[in-house]
């Protein structure tokens, strides 16, 4: 049986991950195995002074993340969520958000 405490713990974990996502690729910073190079970005996206793929667009990042999710057997809902979530991240927020008409 799932207790209310466990539900709360699960919800808190989701909120913590949401707060601590890399503001470029959306990966929870918790999963970044390398030393933290930037307070808002993971080591795959940022080397501490600049973005590793400085010319990438939001659309490029959405494609890259979606490929990773497909490789991990993520379901359609998870893929759509991340696609939309990426547009809300700091790196992309000011750029014109690309929201797909179809998925």
Binding residues for Zn ion, rule: CB under 5 A, are 22, 24-25, 42, 45
Task: Write phi, then psi, for 28 (nearest 5 degrees).
Answer: -60, 130
Cβ–Cβ under 8 Å, residues 86 and 62: yes
* Nearest distance in Å: CB 85, Zn ion: 13
Query: Judged by CB, which is closer to Zn ion: 45, or 69?
Result: 45
* Nearest distance in Å: CB 66, Zn ion: 15
* Nearest distance in Å: CB 40, Zn ion: 9
Query: Judged by CB, which is closer to Zn ion: 24, or 62?
Result: 24
CB atoms within 10 A of CB 92: 21
Residue 24 in tokens: 């470029």
- For helices 58-71 and 76-86, the axis angle rounded to 10 degrees is 160
Query: Judged by CB, which is closer to Zn ion: 9, or 63?
Result: 63
């Amino acid at each position: 049986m799932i207790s209310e405490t466990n539900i709360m713990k699960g919800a808190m974990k989701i909120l913590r991950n949401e707060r601590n996502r890399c503001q470029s690729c959306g990966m929870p910073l918790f999963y970044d195995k390398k030393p933290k190079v930037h307070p808002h970005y993971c080591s795959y996206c940022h080397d501490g002074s600049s973005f590793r793929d400085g010319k990438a667009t939001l659309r490029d990042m959405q494609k890259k993340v979606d490929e990773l999710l497909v490789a991990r057997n993520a379901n359609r809902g998870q893929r759509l969520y991340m696609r939309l979530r990426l547009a809300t991240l700091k790196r992309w927020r000011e750029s014109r958000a690309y929201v797909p008409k179809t998925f």
